[in-house]
Each structure stands twice: as C-alpha cells, then as structure tokens.
Structure 1
C-alpha cells in the first residue's frame, strides 16, 4: 500500500481515537441529599452559634487584639513549612508540564560535517568500489571511497495518544498539584491555629502569674498576722504551718507559669520563622488574655465536605488514582508512533540550502505488548485496589470530620456554660470580700477573715482565666474543625 493511501487511514484513526478506562465519578454521600441537615449539638443552651451565617474570614480578629492579628499575618508570610509547601507546588506544576510535553511532537535539530572512507578490502562492499575494464584492463572507480558532506536537519517523533494514556497521566498530575494546593491551605490553617493557641496560652500564663503574685502577697500578710496571733497566745502553731503551706503552694505556681509562658513564646518563634530574640521583642509588654467577641457560624453539615481540607484531599486522591487506573488500562492498548527526519545534505557548504539538497524520511509505526506474563493485568488490579482503598479513606475522613465537629460543638457549649458558672462564683467571692471588709470595719470580725476572703477571691480569678483559656481552646478547635479559607492578606484589620 502506498504512503498516500496509508495517510488518510492514519488520520481517520487519530480523529476517531477514544480514551479507555472508567471515568471518575465523585462519590455521593447522605449529606449530598441533605439527610444530615443539622449537627446533633447545634443547639446546646447557652452557646453562641449561628447556623445560617457564613464563616467569617479572619475570624480571629474577633479577639480584638492587634498583636494577634499581626502575628497571624507574619506567620503566614514567614513560616518555613508554608514556604516549603509553596516549593512543592512549583515542583508539581513542573511535573505536570513535563507530562503534558508528551502530548506534542518532540523535535530535535542538528547540523554538522561528516567524512567517511570505504575500505577496498571490505569483504562485503570492497568489490563494489572498483571494477576492471574488460577491454583496457584498467581499474575503474564505481564508488567514491572517500567522501564528505555538510548536513542540517531535524528529527521529529510523536506518539499518537489514541487511547488517552497520556491524557490520563496529565489529568493525574494536575490533580496531584491540586492536592498540594489544598494541603498548603490546610497547613495554613494548622499554623494559624497554632499561632492563635500559643499566643492566647502565653497571655493566659502571664495573667495567671500576676494573679499568683497578688495572691502570694495577700497570703504573706496573712502569715504575718497569724504569727502575731501566735505570739500573743491567740493562735496555734498549726495555724502558722497552714499559712506557710498555702504561701509556699502559691509561690510554687509562679515558676511553673513562667516556664509555660516561655515555652509558648519559643513555639511562636518557631511558627514565625524567627530567632528567640526576635520573638521575645514582640512580647515585652504583659497584657491580659483577650476574649472572643462573636458568634461561631457552623453552617450546614453538607458544606463541611467543601470546607475541610482533609476531606477535599481525600476526594482528590480518589480522582487521581482513578486517572492512574485508567492510564494503566490504556497502556495495554497499541501505541502508534509518527516519526520524520527532514533536512538538507550537500557535499559543499554553498549548496547546503539549495532545493536540490533537500532530503527527508518519514514513518508510521505501531507497538503492542501482546504478552507480558500478566504484568499489565497485575498493574491494573493494583491500581483498582488503590482506588478502592482511596474510597474507604474518603469515607473515613468524612466520618472523622463530623465526629470531630460534634465533639467540639459539645465541648464549646459546655465550656461556655462553665465560664458562666465560674463568673457567678467570682461575683460571689467579690461579695464575700466586701462583706468581710464591712464586718471588719464594724468591729464584728478580725482581719484574718478579710485576708481569707481575698485569698478565695484570687483563687477564683485564676479559675476564671483557666475557664477563658478552655473556651478559647474550644473556639480555635471548632473553627479549625469547620474548615474554610484561613489565608489573609496584609491588612491586619481585615
């Protein structure tokens, strides 16, 4: 069959080429049909949750702390893990481009000069170089045994992706890049939440330390008063020992709180990608623990599938493995190759680019691995097992995500109730101090009762801070569990 007869057939095959292998279908869950329309712990009494409200961007600004807002911005710009994640995205983009390059012809160009010398004693072609004239008996040169030429040209090779193997590989590479982008968003969430948590814990440690120092001062005055009473015969050694024990116990809390404060500062330095000295300069001023002023919008449960990075990564994993499975199936089908080598060839350089120097070669080839001992089928089966495992992983991610949200919703609700009760207890101790002072001024009680009431008041202040820290921890955890975009720009007030 002539080449001009083969060409239309080849073109028809290319135009009629079709991808093989199953197409990916996003899995359906009960959430897609709105069966799960509300969280179980959505309406715990006393909680501040907004079901219908959208998630607030940069929600941590509701702590109304400019230092915290700037810390988050700096962490997202400076954190080394986020910079590493950005480089991995670049790598994935380059890999995708490399895979896409197989969809287009590969062209190599070259030029040079060649010289060759044929051997007259070559047993194969030596006799063809010269011959004897039967009339004159002279040796005649039939072929020039020494020749040289200039050449320039190109080599073109192209695999016609009739069955979509390369397309599937490109799709898989693109999905892998999507996964890395989602992972970077998830890492941004983790780092941001870690910054908020450590900042609030540091401020809480500072406030609790101030309370402990104040309590120690009150207990020291109590101890001095007890000693005076013991000397005057109105107290006992047991009273003095108890006062000493209470003072020592309070003083022992101070170094522990300083350790906690410093540990959170060092953690912040790591998250910010700064040295301990750089981070220390940020927190020279002691400030109270900020309170969250806002409502946490939970949204609908079905929205969680698109907000949680772990669920999105698991879904993209299914899509990527599905494409890799289809590529493995397509690899079992024939491969069609088109090659060509156009160029120019001439003995003299001046004739190299004349029309008579044009030379070319072209070919169409097919390659089909018809027997490999079952290797291709095994690879397809392996990819199928990977896909089935990714489906189970997706289901596990969805179940774990909703379990985490439900747990934190309940914990957040109870933490708010705990804060309300602790605040009531603090108000009661404040009234007890005022009453003890009134009785002392009226001469109806001694000053020891006043100091004891103040000690109870300081202890309750510490418990109030601890309750606020617990609520802050639940607030951070609940926002993280609900997902969403945590990336911020450069404006700390946004």
Structure 2
C-alpha cells in the first residue's frame, strides 16, 4: 500500500516539470543587407563568405606551407585546444547532475564482543547473567562474534521540477561553445599574424634588393662627380649631395636587415621553429605576392554569424540568460529521491537469496522560505549582467560593421594608390630610357642618366610599399569579415594515401 501511495506522488512530480526562467530570444538583425562602401572604385568583390585557405589566391607556396605549419604546431593553438577539452568536460560534469547518481558498495565484515566489556560483556560471557541464562536455557545471550556480507547500492536523484539543473547545463554548454569559438578566433588571429609577418619579411627583402641597386648607382654617380670636381667641372655642393645620398642609402640597409630578422623571429615563434629552421623555410628568394582573387564581402548580416567576437558576445547572452533562469528556479522547492536497495547475509552463500533483501527509500523536499532577500538579489545581479551583455553585443556588432566598412574603403583606396604608383613607375622607366638616349646622343651628361635611374629605384621602392600596404589591408579585411580559417590536413593526407596505393597497384 505504501508503494501504491508513493506512485501518484512521483508521477505528479515528474509531470510538473516547468521552466520558471526567461526564454532566450536571439537578437534581431538590424545591420541591413549591404555595406555602405562596397562599391569603392578599384575593389574587386564577390558576394561569397570568407573560406579557409583563401590565402592560396596569393599563389605563394612558401606562404601556404608556413600557414599549414602554424595551424598544426603553434603552441597557443594547442593550449586553446586543451581549454576546449576542459570546457567540454565541465559541461559534461554539470549535465551529469540531471541524472541519478548510483553508488555500488560491497563488503564482508567480521566483529567480536569483548567479555570484559562492562556493558556487553555479561551478554556474551557464558553464565554471565546467571538466572537469566538458566531461564532461557543458553550459556550466553549473544554470540561473541559475528560475520556478514553486504551488497548494496545508493541511488540519489534531484528531480529537476523547475529546470534549475537544466538552466545550469545550458549555461555550461554556452560557455563550452564560447571556448570553441575562441579557439577558432585564435586560428584566425595566428594565421593572419603569419601572413602579416611573411609579407613584411618579403617586403623588407625586396626593398633591400632595391636599396642595394640604388647604392651601386649612387656610387657610380659619386665617382663621376669626384672626377668632374677634380677636373674643375663640378662643385663642392654636387660632391656633398652625392655623398649624402649614398650615406642615406647605406643607412637604410641595416634597418631593412633588422626588419627582416624581426619578422623572421616572429614567424619562428608562431611556427614553433628555431632560426636555422626558419632560414631553411625562407631560403627561396621571393617578393610580396599579389592577390589573384576577389574580396568575399558577402552580406552585412553574414558578419553576425562569421565574426568570432560577435558570436562570443551572443553566446555570453545565452549563458547569462540561463544563469537568470537558474537564479529564479532557486526560489522554488527542490525535490529529491533517494534509495538504498541491498543484500545482507551472515553467510556469503545466502547473500543472493530472497530472504537477504533489504532496502531504504525516501522522498524529500528542500525549500528556502526566507533568506533575507539573498535569492532576489541574485536574480537582480544576473539580470543586470544580461542587460550589460546585450549592450556589449550591440556595441560589438556596431564596431564590427564599422571596421569592415572602413577596411573596404581603405582597400579600395590602397588599390587606387597602387595603380598611381604603377603609372609613376612607367613614367620613371620612360625617363631612364630618354636620359640614356640623350646621353648616347651627347645631349646630356651621365649624371642625368644616373639621376633618372635613382628616381626609378625610389619609385620601385614606393611600389613595393604600396603593394605591401594593399596586401596587409586585404588580410585585415578578411580578418574583419570573420569566418573559420582552419584548414584540415586530414583530407589531404587521405588523398595522398589513396594516390600512393593507386601508384603501388
């Protein structure tokens, strides 16, 4: 009868489960469908999203290799991966509270009473109680030793009537998703840093080569000026200017060497390599690569689902909303079911007989009816955190859209500036050709030719700087547009194995 009375109570508790906290509503999309400056002159754009491996459109094998190494061996990314595992483990631990906890115990016990015990001794000592022993016809009331074996299970379960545990699990899940998004953002950050430093290294390398050529030209100019001065056809001012120009170029070379070494060392840290290994990776002489593709702008609303910082801000709202629900659920009672079924026998051979069964079961409730306003204060605290997270999300979205539009405009302007420098270089090449023709015709001296060559090399240096700026802005733009940049080396490995097997066959 008792078990029959408990059944409707348990069913009513299980069927009465209800969420007492606020339901989460995703923020509305208010950013529009297009960017304000996507039609900037010179910007080649598409409506696609940023994809992993987009940097392959630079068509630079060394860059592809460096990025692949960084994504697989960078220490910061390995740390981020471990943090993801920690967050997922914490999520599983929180979710485990929603299911019953079962503990199994088994043991064999043997104990004996001392005949000299002032309380129990007379009960176990033969004849210890005199007439009482004679009356019951036994030498002692109790045996002096006992042996028994037990097998039992302890079962405990908090029935989540008001979804307190469910809200806590939702919060832990949102936090785990946050950590995973952070890891993806770390991949983007590390990859963009590798590309940036590689471009800077190649830019310093290219500019150094131009500076060396300029230095050789200036040395020829200095020799010619010195000859003219010795023969009375030049001035001390011309000589001083020639020496100053050569000294200025010489001063640039150590700075470019410093830049090369700095960016090489930064790449070494990002890739987890030493200087010798980096020298081997960067041994092939190269230039700042040109981008052969288009900018995958997509829609402005796509940024909300692509940028890690926006996704993290949105998950923060999800987590805190669940925290609000858990705080509200704390105002209501908590219900518990516990049970301890088991087997107890004095002989192990009798342990699994029906007569050895023993059990204890209980239903309980806990309800804090007064805490001085502490629960309400916790609810107010969580609601305030949610409001702050919502404002933070709005600010993050506004900043992201503004950043993308600014970089779009900058990219278009950089391309325009690069085209102007390219036109200038054409004119500088023409000036060198004309100066050389006039010199051969005897209409100008050789200083005019050397000066034209110097101007040509200065424009070449400016072209490298303009190209480098455009490439850097392009990387920043892809980074601002978001997306998961992580490349998966496994498909390539599998393809390689299949190709090897095919060749073997």
Partner of 1:38 in structure 2?
34
Q: Which runs of 5+ in 1 are unaligned?
A: none
Q: Deviations along 1:340-392, whole A, 9 cap, x unmatched?
A: 11111112222222221111111111111112222222222111111111101
User: What do residues 47-70 of structure 1 show as CA deviations (whole Å, max 9, x unaligned)?
Assistant: 2223x3443442111111111111
Is the Cα–Cα contact under 8 Å of residues 153 and 344 in structure 1 kept in the other structure? yes
Question: What is the CA–CA distance in structure 2 between the aligned matches of 1:442 and 1:27, rounded to whole Å?
Answer: 75
* CA gap 1:181/1:56 in 2 versus in 1, 3 angstroms: closer
Farther off after superposition, 141-150 or 387-396 = 141-150
Alignment of 1:474-485 (within 5 A): 474-485=473-484
Alpha-carbon deviation of 1:171?
1.2
2:277 and 2:9 map into 1 onto residues whose CA distance is 71
Q: Shift in Å at residue 29 of structure 1?
A: 3.5
Partner of 1:440: 439
Change in 2 beyond 3 A, CA 1:155/1:132: farther
* Residue 413 to residue 135, structure 1, CA distance change in 2 (3 Å): closer
- The answer to whether the aligner puts 1:59 opposite 2:54 as a matched pair is yes
What's 1:460 paired with? 459
1:396 counterpart = 2:398: no
Q: Deviations over 1:411-431 (max 9, x none)?
A: 111101100111111111111
> Which of 78, 82, 86 matches 2:77?
82
User: 2:157: which partner in 1?
Assistant: 158
Distance (Å, rounded) in 1 between the aligned partners of 2:319 and 2:101: 26
Q: Which residue of 1 aligns with 2:209?
A: 210
**Deviation, structure 1 residue 276:** 2.1
Tell me, yes or no, if structure 1 residue 5 matches structure 2 residue 1: no
Indicate whether 1:228 and 2:227 are aligned: yes
1:20 aligned partner: 20
CA contact (8 A) 2:148 2:347 kept: yes
What's the counterpart of residue 335 of structure 2? 336
Counterpart CA distance in 2 for 1:137 and 1:289 is 107
Which residue is equivalent to 1:48? 44
Alignment match, 2:501: none
2:301 match: secondary structure: helix
The separation in 1 between residues aligned to 2:310 and 2:134, in whole angstroms, is 93
Q: Which residue in the other structure is 1:179 paired with? A: 178
Q: What is the aligned-residue RMSD (CA, Å)?
A: 2.4
Q: What residue number does 1:252 align with? A: 251
Unaligned runs of 5+ in 2: 496-505
Q: CA deviation at 1:134?
A: 11
User: Partners in 1 of 2:24 and 2:68 — Cα distance?
Assistant: 38
Asked if 1 retains the 8 angstrom alpha-carbon contact of 2:133 and 2:140, the reply is: no
Contact map agreement 2:62 2:282 (CA 8 A) in 1: no
How far the C-alpha of 1:7 sits from its partner, in A, is 2.4
User: Scaled by the length of structure 2, what TM-score is found?
Assistant: 0.91
Q: Which residue matches 1:95?
A: 90
Name the residue aligned to 2:320.
Answer: 321
Distance 1:136-1:84 versus aligned 2 partners, 3 A rule:
closer
Asked if 1:193 corresponds to 2:189, the answer is no
Between 17-26 and 452-461, the greater mean CA deviation after superposition:
17-26
Which residue of 88, 104, 107 maps to 1:109? 104
Aligned residues: 486
Equivalents in 2 of 1:381, 1:239: separation in Å?
Answer: 79
Provide, for residues 270-294 of structure 1, a one-character-per-residue CA deviation record: whole Å limited to 9, x for no partner.
1111122222211122212211112
- Which residue number in structure 1 is paired with residue 287 of structure 2? 288
CA displacement, residues 289-330 of structure 1 (integer Å, 9 cap, x when unaligned): 211112112111111100111101100110011111111211
**C-alpha distance in 2 between matches for 1:327 and 1:153:** 34
